[in-house]
Each structure stands twice: as structure tokens, then as C-alpha cells.
């Protein structure tokens, strides 16, 4: 389960079993979990995060989207 980024107490990562899904990133921290699509940045699933937390997560993913996509493609190549 490669960690791609840590920011604001959150861990952005993906699971090795994610290979057959479209590119996405999992986020854990502060008592919550989320899954965010990378092709069109949007929250796919979330639990335990406030709307403010989710907005921050989406902003971080948008800021680091290219790096996350490269990590995804490098790992699953």
C-alpha cells in the first residue's frame, strides 16, 4: 500500500489491488477515510470526514494530481 503523500495529518495512498479500477487515491487520517478519483477529481466515497475536511482533501488532490497520477501509473505499469 504505497503512500504517495502525507499532508495535514492525512495519508494519501493506494492499494496494490486497485490496479483494475480507474486511477484514484485513498485518504486516511483524523478519524476518516475517503477515496478520490484522479481523472476527474471528485470524492468517490467518504466516511468520518467533515465537509471542511473533504474540501481540503480535494484541494490537496488537485494540487498534487499530476504527481499522484504518475505514481499510480509507475506502480501499476
Widest CA span of the chain, in angstroms? 35
Chain mean pLDDT for the chain:
96
Q: Which residues of 32-64 are buried (b: 16+ CB within 10 A; e: fewer)?
A: bebbbebeebebeebeebeeebbebbbebbeeb
Q: What is the pTM of this model?
A: 0.95
Which pLDDT tens digit goes with each residue over 37-53? 999 999 999 999 999 99
Stretches in the chain below the pLDDT threshold 50 = none
Separation between Cα atoms, residue 10 and residue 27, nearest integer Å:
6
Give the whole-angstrom CA distance, residue 23 versus residue 65.
10
Amino acid at each position: 500500500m504505497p503512500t504517495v503523500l502525507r499532508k495535514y495529518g492525512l495519508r494519501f495512498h493506494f492499494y496494490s489491488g486497485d490496479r483494475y479500477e480507474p486511477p484514484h487515491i485513498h485518504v486516511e487520517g483524523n478519524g476518516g477515510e475517503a477515496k478520490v478519483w484522479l481523472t476527474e477529481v471528485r470524492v468517490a466515497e467518504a466516511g468520518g470526514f467533515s465537509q471542511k475536511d473533504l474540501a481540503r482533501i480535494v484541494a490537496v488532490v488537485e494540487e498534487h494530481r499530476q504527481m499522484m497520477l504518475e505514481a499510480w501509473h509507475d506502480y501499476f505499469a
